[in-house]
């Protein structure tokens, strides 16, 4: 079997996420077959920097020996056992480890699931059931934010603010009010607040909204507002968790502890599907008692032993390699290189950065946004492959979100690849002056 075979079989039988399948038939997809560190290799032997950490999941690089060995060791025991009515060592250890990142008697319970969408789905269903079981059945609505993204399952998607993902399904989702920011939140009327179960937000920075950081201090203000009005706070840290913003969790930047914390993507270091919804003790306590108070929700691979083993190894590497201590220098290097790049490339309208999460917004002459139909950002990402860089664009914002293990030299290579790509595109597509 070779590249031609794999591509032919793909085009004949596969259906890709977020992909215009009618155009896929005429594309030349890369078949990725190997990886090491921040590098990926395709079936033709070409190497690329994994500039978006394999859709924001990889933390310590591909083929990390610690995670590899942990998975192999677990395979020698058992790959998966049911978590419904049973326990397993790795899940117990992982839950204890996650709770240890927060003060005692705060986020001290963990509900495992499969991915970011299900982590959020668990939180919102728990938030509603909690209200029914604590004498506030009228509190069944949610507050979210414009252009937010919280996953693709029906409930989680209904909380998102991106119309293209959910407009056609609106009537099937949770009742939600989308706000532009803190100002609209603090001016909500009493009737609206009285119906609200929880506020959900991506802390510090919105991902799918072209990497847009929130104002400093906003998260802490939302926490205070939620406390004042007895509204739960759900933090979607599917993208921001596990060091992406400089601290283990983004909420720790503003010393905020939510009522629900949703984790996935980097939980296993980008190796295996696994998610966690962490909850405060008073939430958990409301589900104790008779059988009808239980949380009837779960998945076949909940707390699967392989995933939990990978997650434990992933978390151990943070300590072994002092990952967080090394981040500030990398963040500053990336910031400086991108500032220099912006000075040299007039296409760069703005660089938005929160830790190792970066969006490079591209625009045309005089800062005018490109028309949507040419899909400039998408084409530039395709061109970047010729310079050894893999990433994706959100509209015309190029996302750079590499594994945290990326070295200083690799950061330079990544920025040079983007710069060379922009130069090539400019020569081919923009008139010279």
Q: Is the pLDDT of residue 432 over 60?
A: no
Could you list the beta-strand ranges (E) of 246-326.
Answer: 260-263, 275-280
pLDDT band, residue 428 (cuts 50/70/90): confident
Q: Which class would CATH give 31-60+322-429?
A: alpha beta
Q: Is 170 annotated as a binding residue?
A: no
Mean pLDDT of 364-392: 94
The per-residue pLDDT for 402 is 98
178 and 146 Cβ atoms separated by less than 8 Å: yes
Q: Is 299 annotated as a binding residue?
A: yes
pLDDT band, residue 50 (cuts 50/70/90): very high
Q: Is 345 annotated as a binding residue?
A: no
Mean pLDDT of 26-30: 92
CA–CA gap between residue 277 and residue 235 (Å, rounded): 10
How would you list the strands of the sheet with 141-145, edge to edge? 107-113, 275-280, 260-263, 232-236, 196-201, 141-145, 176-179
pLDDT band, residue 212 (cuts 50/70/90): very high
Q: Is the pLDDT of residue 167 over 90?
A: no
Cα distances (angstroms) measured from residue 332 to each of 191, 325, 411 = 46, 13, 11
Q: Is the pLDDT of residue 244 over 50?
A: yes
pLDDT band, residue 163 (cuts 50/70/90): confident
- CA–chain centroid gap for 151, Å, is 9
Q: Is 83 annotated as a binding residue?
A: no
Q: Is 236 annotated as a binding residue?
A: yes
- Percentage of the chain exceeding pLDDT 70: 99
Could you list the beta-strand ranges (E) of 298-423.
Answer: 348-354, 357-362, 389-390, 393-394, 397-400
C-alpha torsion 76→81→85→91, nearest 10:
60
Mean pLDDT of 299-309: 97
CA–CA gap between residue 238 and residue 261 (Å, rounded): 9
Mean pLDDT of 378-389: 97
Domain boundaries, the chain: 31-60+322-429, 68-320
Q: Is the pLDDT of residue 431 over 90?
A: no
DSSP state of 230: T
Using a cut of 0.95, tell me whether the model's pTM lies above it.
Answer: yes
Burial (Cβ within 10 Å: 0-12, 13-18, ≥19) of residue 172 = exposed
Q: Is 281 annotated as a binding residue?
A: no
The per-residue pLDDT for 365 is 79
338 CB-side CA count, 13 A: 24
CA–CA gap between residue 409 and residue 407 (Å, rounded): 5
Q: Is 181 annotated as a binding residue?
A: no
The per-residue pLDDT for 169 is 85
The 3-state DSSP class for residue 218 equals helix
- CATH topology for the 68-320 domain: 3.40.640
The 3-state DSSP class for residue 46 equals coil
Q: Is 300 annotated as a binding residue?
A: yes
The per-residue pLDDT for 429 is 86
Cross-strand pairs, 35: 40
Q: Is 139 annotated as a binding residue?
A: no
168 CB-side CA count, 13 A: 3
Mean pLDDT of 194-207: 98
pLDDT band, residue 433 (cuts 50/70/90): very low
């Amino acid at each position: 079997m070779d590249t031609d075979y794999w591509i032919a079989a793909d085009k004949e039988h596969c259906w890709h996420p977020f992909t215009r399948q009618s155009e896929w038939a005429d594309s030349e997809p890369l078949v990725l077959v190997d990886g090491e560190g921040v590098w990926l290799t395709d079936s033709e032997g070409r190497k690329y920097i994994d500039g978006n950490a394999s859709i924001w999941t990889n933390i310590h690089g591909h083929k990390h020996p610690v995670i590899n060995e942990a998975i192999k060791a677990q395979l020698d025991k058992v790959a998966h056992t049911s978590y419904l009515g049973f326990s397993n060592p790795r899940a117990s250890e992982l839950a204890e480890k996650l709770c240890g990142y927060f003060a005692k008697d705060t986020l001290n319970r963990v509900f495992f699931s499969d991915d970011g969408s299900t982590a959020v789905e668990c939180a919102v269903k728990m938030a509603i059931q909690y209200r029914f079981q604590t004498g506030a059945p009228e509190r069944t609505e949610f507050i979210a934010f414009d252009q937010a993204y919280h996953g693709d399952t029906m409930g989680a998607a209904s909380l998102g603010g991106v119309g293209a993902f959910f407009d056609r399904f609106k009537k099937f989702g949770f009742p939600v009010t989308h706000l532009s920011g803190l100002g609209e939140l603090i001016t909500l009327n009493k009737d609206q607040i009285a119906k609200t179960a929880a506020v959900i937000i991506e802390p510090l920075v919105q991902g799918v909204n072209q990497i847009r950081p929130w104002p400093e201090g906003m998260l802490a203000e939302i926490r205070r507002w939620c406390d004042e009005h007895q509204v739960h706070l759900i933090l979607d840290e599917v993208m921001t968790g596990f060091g992406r913003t400089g601290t283990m969790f983004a909420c720790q930047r503003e010393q905020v502890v939510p009522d629900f914390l949703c984790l996935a993507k980097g939980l296993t270091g980008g190796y295996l599907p696994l998610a966690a919804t962490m909850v405060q003790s008073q939430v958990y306590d409301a589900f104790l008692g008779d059988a009808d108070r239980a949380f009837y929700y779960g998945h076949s691979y909940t707390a699967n032993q392989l995933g939990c083993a990978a997650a434990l190894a992933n978390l151990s590497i943070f300590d072994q390699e002092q990952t967080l201590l090394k981040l500030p220098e990398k963040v500053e290097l990336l910031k400086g290189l991108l500032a220099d790049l912006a000075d040299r490339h007039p296409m760069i309208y703005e660089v938005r950065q929160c830790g190792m999460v970066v969006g490079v917004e591209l625009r045309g002459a005089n800062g005018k946004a490109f028309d949507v139909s040419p899909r400039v950002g998408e084409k530039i990402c395709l061109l970047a492959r010729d310079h050894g860089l893999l990433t994706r664009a959100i509209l015309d914002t190029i996302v750079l979100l590499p594994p945290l293990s990326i070295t200083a030299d690799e950061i330079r290579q990544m920025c040079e690849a983007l710069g060379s790509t922009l130069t090539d595109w400019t020569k081919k597509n923009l008139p010279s002056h």
